[in-house]
Amino acid sequence: MIEIRWHGRGGQGGFTASKLLGASVVLYGGKHALSFPSFGPERRGAPVLAFTKIDSKKICDRSEIRKCDFIVVLDETLFSENFFDDLKYNGKIIINSANQETYAKYDSGKITVVDASSIALKVLGKPITNTAMLGALVAVSDIIDLNAVLKGMEGFLKGELLAKNIEVVERTFLQCKEVAS
């Protein structure tokens, strides 16, 4: 089972990214998925968690994820060095930050840094980084094909919002692929 934990703040769309990934995997990736949030009082800016579980068989375990294949951090102020303890053997952390140097001290095989906020601001006009971080996750993992995610987004977004978010996903995906090569 592939297990992903999303760390964000209310209003950043962490749970939406989790749902987009889960739906894309189910509809176009030929696997089972489960996406669910965990948060306290619902207010903009409060820390929130979302979880995505993906497997080739039906998923019955609805518990929160402790040991992760991927930890996606939409807001770098939520990053903790303890996240490395929460990774499975080949796990990775994907973090939104404009400050690559801040994370240079960590194993580059365990952490990917992408400036998702700049991409979101440029394309969407808002620092909503969920689809940018979804693009980064797709780029650094073998979870699902990029085109499957883009098709999956069509079920949730429409018109100009869909077009802009597809651009965000593609830009972040390509940026992460360039850095990896």
Which domains are present in the chain?
Answer: 2-180 (3.40.920.10)
Closest CA to 130 of 37, 54, 61, 41: 37
Residue 11 Rama label (left phi>0; alpha psi -120 to 50; beta) = left
What is the reported pLDDT for 41?
60
What is the reported pLDDT for 22?
96
- Say whether 132 sits in a helix, a strand or coil: helix
Full DSSP string of 18-32: HHHHHHHHHHHSSSE
The 10s digit of each residue's pLDDT in 14-24 is 999 999 999 99
Q: Which residues of the chain have a pLDDT value below 50?
A: none
What is the reported pLDDT for 42?
61
The 10s digit of each residue's pLDDT in 85-121 is 999 999 999 999 999 999 999 998 999 999 999 999 9
Closest CA to 153 of 142, 166, 144, 141: 166
